[in-house]
Chains A and B, each alone.
Chain A
Amino acid sequence: MESAEELRLDYDVTLLPPKKYFFPQRETLFTYNLADGISTKSPEEAKPMVIIGVHPYDIVALLHMDEIFRDTKSDPYYFKKRENSIIIGINIQKMSKWNFSSLMGCAVIDYGYDLMLTDLGNRYGINVGSSKGEALLLKYAKNVTPALARDIQIAGQKKREVINMSEQKFDFAPELIPELLRDSYAKSGFWENHSEKCLACGSCVLVCPTCYCFDVKDNPDLTLEYGERIRTWDGCLLEDFAKIASGENFRATRPTRYRHRYFKKGKYLFDKFGFISCVGCGRCSSNCLPDIANPVNLFNDMYHESRSSGVQMPSSAAQPDVNINTEGNIDYVPELGTIVKKVPMTAYETLFEIKLDDGSELGHKPGQFVEVSIFGIGEAPISLSSSPTKEKTFELCVRKLGNVTTSMHKLNVGDKVGIRGPFGNGFDTKSLKGKDLLFIAGGLGIAPLRSLFNFVLDNRKDFGHITLLYGCKEPREMLFGDELALLASRDDVEFKSTVNWCPENEAWSGNIGVITTLIPLIEFDPEKTIAILCGPPVMYKFVIADLKTRNVPDGNIIMSLERRMKCGVGKCGHCQINQIYVCKDGPVFNYSHIKGVPEAL
């Protein structure tokens, strides 16, 4: 704005919500300079902002974002801006025809703002919402007088009018949306029909005030000497959102992506935070060209279909327990580590041993992962392959697949990389004590399992019978060959390996067949044994099925899953499996918790 005349407070809805001020479309996380031994620089302090004319539903959306960005670890970029800003709201005077914020309880609020204006005709009523707002008023506002009784009443009338302004209508109580969704996940044809016209354009999520998924990439300068790491808005409706370097796409079809948005807003976030993460602004509906994004239409359809198939709706929605814990800030800036050893193991996999430059221990748990940065190329999640009992350094087994891993393979001893982490939940080693452990590894899956396996061997007396089953496609793809050969000479570990086939020019005297062919060859007590799985996505179904025929209880099966991980701290959204963030709630999962999660296996 260049002058007061430009201010228009009687608008119906803005194109983009005010989240763009706190979580911008594009944001520099840090800049790096390779010329002086890789230095990084975080961006400067946030400029103070006063945002005038925010509608109540957009303010509620900011409150949603506050809790989301504070959960587990807090996002400093977002909060610096939030803390340095003042929100002056305005009560709605005109509502767009898509707006249903009154139905979502977001059309009128009495919290969340510093000042709230209500247009009373030739004057504005001002509600003070915070001491910051009060101070602003005292310092800058002229002609402010205490409100008269009639002003209070008129303001009240205006707010009541807002409640009745919406042209949209739910055919049921919208508080029941989470319940409605619970039984609709696999509704035959429902999601396919509703998403048939979807253009995967991402408009619905990009204009949404409560969406917060982002992508992170490196942007080097043409000299390649320095550059920046930036984050930009991303959206789960976009085709490659859930695609990983190997090419596997965990949400490859339109119906699955379309469904995910509704479940995220109406169920997953509700189960975690207790709010339906939709404030009824109507932006998604108005911006969807094929007109399939209106939540009101979708949920009404869902409701009618449920009714006609005889499903009973409960009278009220169960309120979940909400626990938002914050354990410090997210650090998006990596620390530096140096490669101290590089051992190629196969044509595509190399084992790197890394020590942190500041001399500290990584301090990880088996099963966790780190985000490895090659500045200018990007950042990739790699599982830790060494046990924390190995001191001073840690090991990563890296498969050459995408840009970062391919670049990493070109590095040598003495070269530096960026390290963030460790991330993830890791294996709960305490609960494994005294049990028999059955490790089942497929292909590259041996790499993360090795962190636990070596931990167990270093604490051998704490555990019962140890078995390792390892399968690869062919002999030359076997990893850690030398270490595994030594296992054969140990009598406190049972080790069996197999290959799917053995080409003519390779030598192999062991078992031939897929990994499941090894399971019948071993004896174990299903009640006392914990099975620990890691392998390619296709492996899990078959291995679990075979373990179940051996009566292994669900709770005795643990697995490490892979998804596309970017931020590592449960914010950017790429690693989501339904309501789970693999980087935060995983990558280690107990089968009993995950078997009901449709996208998991």
Chain B
Amino acid sequence: MKPKVAFFDFAGCEGDQLQVANLEEDLLTLLGQVEVVSFREVMKEHSDNYDIAFIEGSCTRLQDEDRLKQIRKNAKIVVAIGSCATIGGINSLRNYKDLESVKKTVYGENAKLFDSYAARPIDAIIPVDAYVHGCPIDRDDFLHVVKSLLLGKKTETPTYPVCVECKKNENICAFERGQFCVGPVTRAGCNSCCVNEGTVCWGCRGLVDNPNENAHKEVLIKYGLTVDDAIGKFRLYFGWQETKR
């Protein structure tokens, strides 16, 4: 019996669902293993009868909470996909700003028409069974989680940082190139894809479980970043996670 899967999105850019659509030929294989009953971006049909729910995007309004709770009730397994859903993502960048002034900046006098609160990952509202981290998610990582779910396995997300993957890929360390990287405190699983492309790790997969944040901020400062910039780097993706620690 093929499990029924459904895709949902909240406040996000839909890039993670695009990754699923971008599976190319693997998409056809995937469709042989699961039955997609709801995927608004790609299909008209919708059903509330699903086993696995993939959720993209952060919860940013009170009204999102009810929708999340309903999905949790309907689904046996809930998977958060993409940084916005797993850790708050880029959306949490605005949590550090005073929300009222943010709304005014954006909507002016009409600000009161739009409800919004601190952007948060979906596990702040409902229990989540599996995570596919990243901004956007890596297609192989997504398939790895899908395979684990199909096999009844608990998904194994690395608890070690991106440095492990950089070293295995023989990358010259970003710091040696004069750049500032948060890879040493960021969860691996992306195969160090950004450093492979010549840029730095920006932290999109979230902090590892027990990061030595102070040690890394010291490293950033030792290599030439100001204290404010070092703190700022941790706010790009870790905005929500930092408030929880």
Touch test A–B (CB under 8 Å): yes
Chain A residues engaging chain B, CB cutoff 8 angstroms: 15-16, 20, 25-26, 196-203, 206-207, 217, 220, 222-224, 232-233, 235, 238-240, 254, 287, 289-290, 376-377, 402-403, 406-407, 410
CB <8 Å contact, B147 and A402: no
Q: Which of B153, B170, B219 contacts A290 (CB 8 A)?
A: B219
Extra inter-chain contacts (20) besides given A202-B163, A224-B150, A289-B173, CB under 8 Å:
A16-B167, A197-B215, A198-B212, A199-B184, A199-B185, A199-B219, A201-B160, A202-B164, A207-B167, A222-B26, A222-B146, A224-B147, A238-B160, A239-B208, A289-B175, A290-B218, A376-B151, A403-B154, A407-B152, A407-B153
Return chain A residues, CB-CB under 8 Å to B170: 15-16, 20
CB <8 Å contact, B212 and A223: no
CB <8 Å contact, A377 and B153: yes
**B143 contacts partner chain A, Cβ-Cβ < 8 Å:** yes
Chain B residues touching A, majority SS: helix
Return chain B residues, CB-CB under 8 Å to A289: 173, 175, 184, 216, 219
**B29 contacts partner chain A, Cβ-Cβ < 8 Å:** yes
Q: Which of A196, A199, A220 contacts B161 (CB 8 A)?
A: A199
**Given A220-B151, A222-B29, A403-B154, A290 and B210 contact (CB-CB distance below 8 Å):** no
**B172 contacts partner chain A, Cβ-Cβ < 8 Å:** yes
Return chain A residues, CB-CB under 8 Å to B210: 200, 239
Q: Which of A220, A238, A240, A254 contacts B147 (CB 8 A)?
A: A220
| Nearest A residue (CB) for B175 | A289
**B33 contacts partner chain A, Cβ-Cβ < 8 Å:** yes
Chain B residues engaging chain A, CB cutoff 8 angstroms: 26, 29-30, 32-33, 143, 146-147, 150-154, 156, 159-161, 163-164, 167-168, 170, 172-173, 175, 183-185, 208-212, 215-216, 218-219
Return chain A residues, CB-CB under 8 Å to B212: 197-200, 254
CB distance from A19 to the nearest CB of B (A): 12
CB <8 Å contact, A239 and B160: yes
CB distance from B52 to the nearest CB of A (A): 15
| Nearest A residue (CB) for B32 | A223
Q: Which of B160, B209, B219 contacts A202 (CB 8 A)?
A: B160
| Nearest A residue (CB) for B155 | A403
CB distance from A20 to the nearest CB of B (A): 8
Q: Complex formed: what's the CA distance from A379 to B152 in Å?
A: 15
Q: Which of B151, B154, B172, B183 contacts A15 (CB 8 A)?
A: B172
Return chain A residues, CB-CB under 8 Å to B167: 16, 202-203, 206-207, 287
CB distance from A590 to the nearest CB of B (A): 35
| Nearest B residue (CB) for A239 | B159
| Nearest B residue (CB) for A235 | B164
Return chain A residues, CB-CB under 8 Å to B146: 222
Q: Complex formed: what's the CA distance from A238 to B215 in Å?
A: 16
Q: Complex formed: what's the CA distance from A200 to B159 in Å?
A: 10
Return chain A residues, CB-CB under 8 Å to B219: 197, 199, 289-290
Return chain B residues, CB-CB under 8 Å to A203: 163-164, 167
CB <8 Å contact, B164 and A238: yes
**A-B residue pairs in contact (CB < 8 Å), sample of 16:** A197-B218, A199-B161, A200-B161, A206-B168, A222-B29, A222-B147, A224-B33, A235-B164, A238-B159, A239-B208, A287-B167, A289-B184, A289-B216, A402-B154, A403-B154, A410-B152
Return chain A residues, CB-CB under 8 Å to B185: 199
Q: Complex formed: what's the CA distance from A224 to B159 in Å?
A: 26
| Nearest B residue (CB) for A220 | B147
| Nearest A residue (CB) for B209 | A239
Return chain B residues, CB-CB under 8 Å to A232: 168
CB <8 Å contact, A290 and B152: no
Return chain B residues, CB-CB under 8 Å to A402: 154
Q: Complex formed: what's the CA distance from A237 to B167 in Å?
A: 14
Q: Complex formed: what's the CA distance from A26 to B218 in Å?
A: 33
CB distance from B184 to the nearest CB of A (A): 4
Return chain A residues, CB-CB under 8 Å to B216: 199, 289
CB <8 Å contact, A406 and B184: no
Q: Complex formed: what's the CA distance from A207 to B176 in Å?
A: 15
Return chain B residues, CB-CB under 8 Å to A198: 212, 215
CB distance from B100 to the nearest CB of A (A): 38
| Nearest A residue (CB) for B173 | A287
Q: Complex formed: what's the CA distance from A238 to B73 in Å?
A: 37
**Given A199-B185, A239-B210, A403-B153, A206 and B215 contact (CB-CB distance below 8 Å):** no
| Nearest B residue (CB) for A240 | B159
With most chain A CB atoms within 10 A of its CB, the pick from B29, B152, B183, B212 is B212
Return chain A residues, CB-CB under 8 Å to B154: 402-403, 406
The 3 closest A-B pairs by CB, nearest first: A201-B163, A206-B167, A197-B215
CB distance from B50 to the nearest CB of A (A): 20
Q: Complex formed: what's the CA distance from A290 to B154 in Å?
A: 34
Return chain B residues, CB-CB under 8 Å to A235: 164
With most chain A CB atoms within 10 A of its CB, the pick from B159, B167, B173 is B167
CB distance from A124 to the nearest CB of B (A): 27
Q: Complex formed: what's the CA distance from A235 to B163 in Å?
A: 12
Q: Complex formed: what's the CA distance from A206 to B168 in Å?
A: 7
| Nearest A residue (CB) for B30 | A222
Q: Which of A26, A202, A290 contacts B215 (CB 8 A)?
A: A290
CB distance from B174 to the nearest CB of A (A): 10
CB <8 Å contact, B168 and A25: yes
CB distance from B200 to the nearest CB of A (A): 13
Q: Complex formed: what's the CA distance from A235 to B151 in Å?
A: 28
Q: Complex formed: what's the CA distance from A20 to B216 in Å?
A: 28
CB distance from A237 to the nearest CB of B (A): 9
CB <8 Å contact, A196 and B215: yes
Return chain B residues, CB-CB under 8 Å to A403: 153-154, 156
| Nearest A residue (CB) for B215 | A197
Q: Complex formed: what's the CA distance from A207 to B172 in Å?
A: 12
